[in-house]
Structure 1
């Protein structure tokens, strides 16, 4: 099957005897998705798993989330919008919406400054640069009454290079096939790694039928299942793809 805009293809390598996924062969798109999980604020993770309705969240975070939802705005500071807590965004260079998770939106909080060219603008005549930023390009600059629609460039902590993506988007290079373990450990695919893994799990790959290769399409429902399983299990791929068959 060919991947669509809402799915990515994976090749699962399954130990038939133990009914366990040993690893998955994955391209850049799936690894980018895994890495993008770390760009999700806790509020977003809680909402996704709470709305999933599969018992994915344990502990008190769902109760805290519902408390914020239900608390009257009379008790919230006037400068605070509850959406900042319930649907938070972070300032992360190059972040993009996590592929294969529903209703997440961009986790990147784009910043804007005044681009009017005035004395306090980004392109200010006095060279001072803007000291005001906003996360909405429609915001009116309190200094000059122009829209703050000039994109601000984020630099690394040492101020040495601009932090941005050049060429390929995402987090890893697309010229490599990746090996994703059942516990989501990621490494470049290699014969040595495969042999080491088979030895570790006592798999006789010369035995007929010992190993099964299976192509699957990984979609949004699977994305939420993986997110939930990653917080509860160390056999994530097995739980997501073989939970119905594993005894």
Structure 2
């Protein structure tokens, strides 16, 4: 997507002489809205945008890239519907209506669409779905007739109050634009003499916003990286590895998510490294469903203690801003801090306690192509439509099927040569290999989610704490 000429921001940026550092930038409500919209993006959407924009130079982001590419390469026959696979590859944003009003959009947001069967009684949000109505001529017909849904219009704001202005720090803290905030920043960074400050005016467009999205995920100083061209990514790598060794956030309520998924893992006994996992479709469905989780929900699940240091600050800022003065409403806060999954994205294999948008009540005007939402039952001239789940079976991946998952979360169909290839490549003798079984519940899933964000050995780093660690001769 190419930003139009008017889709630009002019930022007043304050730098520190001699330090090669951005201290803060003055931003308006429109720029703050774009920043906060990052939290509504699903992980799969983020990965898709980065791959499209940067190609082979897209950041790795732990095992998310290999998980996404593996999904892309997995044959569609392993999904209940082709629509289900496409939903995973390009997950929708549950705040798309709000994000469509952003001054600058980093991806094209299509209006909400409805595809109707030939009989005019069944509807789906995806066109590659088969009709299920009783009309024999329509029962095997793919949705083809497109109708754009008339949605209730809202106000013109997005996430922040339109009159608000902010200070944005180098590590993406968003503060009210006030003298008190400025003094706090000076003390925080040890600024004793304002003569060391240097003002610059910078123009920010789509390219810089994409750099900011990438920087928010890989750097603790994204403004300095972008505006001064000084990267700190390498210096934060060691800290990121140490993050994997920290304690896993304990879920608030283990009893709320009793689901357990059994997985067999092939382990190198001497190191407890997981070489691969053999699993059924439920675990693979769960892994692919990680791509549908909005960034704000990832922060919530991990208690805002992720390896995305700058996103942690952005997330924390929302709670510190005043509702009505800076943030529009309590509903807006919830939308950013605990965003829901879009309709039909909550898989039955999902271990995490996530919410999903409610099913819309769509009505079609008799003898017309007009379709719209209603909050209450409409008059007789409107006919309620039968909404079809595009995933087919309340989940994405078809079973019963056995899959293999590599340490970096590449999913494939088992082959006789895959295990041999791994052992030969890593020069591991058969005597140093064993099979263990794990039950993946909420604690294991949280650990795996955290590892997937930073490590290219997500299975090992995420599940190693739950393996049997005693040496073979002591068993």
TM-score w.r.t. length of structure 2: 0.39
1:62-211 matches, within 5 Å, as: 62-78=65-81, 80-92=83-95, 94-97=97-100, 100=104, 102=106, 104-106=107-109, 110=112, 134-135=124-125, 142=133, 151=149, 165-166=154-155, 168-207=156-195, 210-211=196-197
Q: Which residue of 2 aligns with 1:57?
A: 60
Structure 1: gaps of 5 or more residues: 115-120, 122-131, 154-161
The structure richer in helix per residue is: 2
Structure 2 Cα separation of the partners of residues 99 and 57 of structure 1: 29
User: Is 1:231 matched with 2:217?
Assistant: yes
Structure 1 Cα separation of the partners of residues 103 and 59 of structure 2: 20
C-alpha change, 1:88 and 1:152, in structure 2 (3 Å) is: same
Q: How far did 1:180 drift?
A: 0.9
Q: Which residue of 1 aligns with 2:203?
A: 217
Whether the aligned pair in 2 keeps the contact of 1:134 and 1:148 (CA below 8 Å) is: no
TM-score w.r.t. length of structure 1: 0.71
Structure 1 Cα separation of the partners of residues 214 and 35 of structure 2: 13
Q: 196-205 or 33-42: which moved more? A: 196-205
Structure 2 Cα separation of the partners of residues 234 and 109 of structure 1: 35
Larger gyration radius, structure 1 or structure 2: 2
C-alpha change, 1:82 and 1:20, in structure 2 (3 Å) is: same
Structure 2: gaps of 5 or more residues: 139-144, 233-475
RMSD: 3.5
